[in-house]
Amino acid sequence: MKNTIVVGAQWGDEGKGKLVDVLAEQSDLVVRFNGGGNAGHTVMHAGETYKFHYMPSGMLHDKICILGTGVVINPKDLLEEIESFTGSGHAPRLRISARAHVIFPHHQMIDAKGGGKIGTTGRGIGPTYSQKASRINLRILDIIADDAESRIKTALRDVKDMLIADQIFSQAEYQEYCNSVSTEYAAYGQEFKPFVTDTEDLVRVAGKNNETVLFEGAQGTLLDLNYGTYPFVTSSSTLAAAAFVGGGAIPGVPIRILGITKAYTTRVGEGPFPTELEGDAATNLREVGHEYGATTGRPRRVGHLDLYALRYAVRISGIQELAMTKIDTLALVSGVKACVGYKINGKEIDYFPADAPTLELVEPIYTDIEPVADLSKEEWVKLKGASKAQLPESIRNYIKFIEDFVEVPITILSHGPERNETIVF
C-alpha cells in the first residue's frame, strides 16, 4: 500500500479521525503533522468513544504514532490525554518530535484575549505559531534539556514586556508565573523524555524499509493559513503539502492524497460560509448530525454541500480521492442542496475569492439534489464490500454528481461513526 496523506477538504470536522482509524490498520506509522489541541479527532470503536486532540488517531491499532515537527504541543494536555487513554503516563508507541513547539499557558491567555473575533478554539495555537515564526518560542528539545528551567526563564524574559503591555500579567504576576511555569514545564519535559526523538528520521527509515506511513492532517483545507478564508483560518498549513514540511513525508516517494468531506458542510468559529443554513433547517441538521465541536462543544454552523468550495480545496491541496462521511445524516434531513457556483452582484465568477469580505457577498448557485436513500443498519451491512454500481440509485447518483463536479473519485463512503460503518470501493 502507498503512503497516504489524509486532509480535511472543508472547514474541519469532516471525520478525519474515523478515517485515519480505518486506514491505520494497514499502516505501520501514523504521523500528525500540523495543529495542536485545537483538533478534536473522534474515533468510535466497540461502543467506546475516543476523542484525540493530540495523539494520532492510529493509537487504537497500537501502531507507532508520531507527533511531527509541525505540531504545537501543550505538554500538560498531552500528558492528560496519554493518561486517560492508557490509564498511565505511558504510551509506548508514541514518538514526539524534538523540534515541535511548546504551547505555554501565556499563549492560551493571549488567545483567550484576542482570538474572539476569529472564534478560535482558545488553545493558544495562534500565539504559539506566531512566536515560533518570530523565533522566540521554545521547542520540546528545550523542555527536556538538563537546563530546561533556565531556558524557559530566558525565553519568558523575551516576551515579558509584551505580556505586561498587553495586560496578560502585572509585573508581580509575571514573576510568579515565570517561577512556577519554568518548574512545571521542566517537570513535564522529564516525563516526555522517553518519547522524544528525531521523528523525521523515523519516517525516512520507515520509507527505506518499505513500511507504510499514514499522515494525519488536522483542521481542513479551507482553514489553511495561506489558502483558506484568511483571516478566519487556523495558524498552520492544513494542506497535504504540510505533511512534507511538518511530518517528514519525503518528496518523490509515491503518495496518495485523500481528502475527507461531509455529505454537507459545517464550520466552527467565525468567517464566511456561503451556503450556511439558518433557522429550523439549521437546527434540524445540527441535531440530526450531532454537529457540536469535539474540542470546544460549540454548536457547529451547518449548510448545504458547497461543491464550489470543495473543488477549490481539491485543487489547492492536490486531493486525488475523496472519502465522504455522514451520508446517513444526509438521508435523514430534507432540503439540503448542492452549490455549484458563486455569483457576485448577479454575475457568475470563476474563482474562489481570496478576500473574506468578498466571500461574504457571494450568492451561491444551487441545484436540488435527489433525497438519498435512508438505509437501515442491516441494509448497510449487506452493502459491505459493494461496488458503487451496487449502491442504491439515489446514493450512486449523489456520488457521481459530486465526482463529476470536483473531478476526483469518491473511494470511501462512511455511513456511521463506527469503524465498520465504512465502504471502501
Catalytic residue IDs: 13, 41
Minimum CB–partner distance for residue 109 and ligand IMP (Å): 14
CB of 89 to ligand IMP, least distance (A): 25
Total residues in contact with ligand IMP, by rule CB under 6 A: 21
Stretch that binds ligand IMP, among 65-73, 112-120, 330-338, 373-381 (CB under 6 A): 112-120
Residue number, 232 or 308, with CB nearest to ligand IMP: 232
**Given candidates 9, 268, 331, 338, which one binds ligand IMP under the rule CB under 6 A?**
268
**Which grid cell is 255?**
503518495
Report the residue from 79, 85, 119, 363 that binds ligand IMP according to the rule CB under 6 A. Answer: 119
Q: Mask 370-399, x = binds ligand IMP (CB under 6 A)?
A: ------------------------------
Rule CB under 6 A: say whether 125 interacts with ligand IMP.
yes
Q: Of 266 and 422, which has the nearer Cβ to ligand IMP?
A: 266
- Residue from 107, 123, 132, 326 touching ligand IMP (CB under 6 A): that is 123
CA distances from 159 to 76, 110, 139, 155, 288 (A): 21, 12, 16, 7, 46
Least distance between ligand IMP and beta carbon 326 (Å): 15
Asked if the bond preceding 231 is cis, omega within 30° of 0, the reply is yes
Taking the C-alpha atoms of residue 326 and residue 408, their distance in angstroms, rounded to an integer, is 19
**Alpha carbon distance 304, 281 (integer Å):** 10
Q: Say whether residue 219 binds ligand IMP (CB under 6 A).
A: yes
Is residue 259 a contact residue for ligand IMP (CB under 6 A)?
Answer: no
Q: Is 121 in the site for ligand IMP (CB under 6 A)?
A: yes
- Min. distance of Cβ 77 from ligand IMP in angstroms? 13
Contact track, ligand IMP, 226-245, x by CB under 6 A: ------x-xx----------
Sign of torsion, CA 321 264 336 419? positive
C-alpha cell at 121: 478554539
Map residues 63-102 to x or -, x wherever contact with ligand IMP holds by CB under 6 A.
----------------------------------------
Nearest distance in Å: CB 20, ligand IMP: 13
Select from 40, 217, 259, 303 the one that contacts ligand IMP (CB under 6 A).
40
Residue nearest to ligand IMP (CB): 269
Shortest separation between residue 9's beta carbon and ligand IMP, angstroms? 13
Query: Binding of ligand IMP at residue 221 (CB under 6 A)?
Result: no
Stretch that binds ligand IMP, among 36-44, 148-156, 347-355, 403-411 (CB under 6 A): 36-44
261 touches ligand IMP by CB under 6 A: no
Give contact residues for ligand IMP (rule: CB under 6 A): 11-13, 38-40, 118-121, 123, 125-126, 218-219, 223, 232, 234-235, 268-269
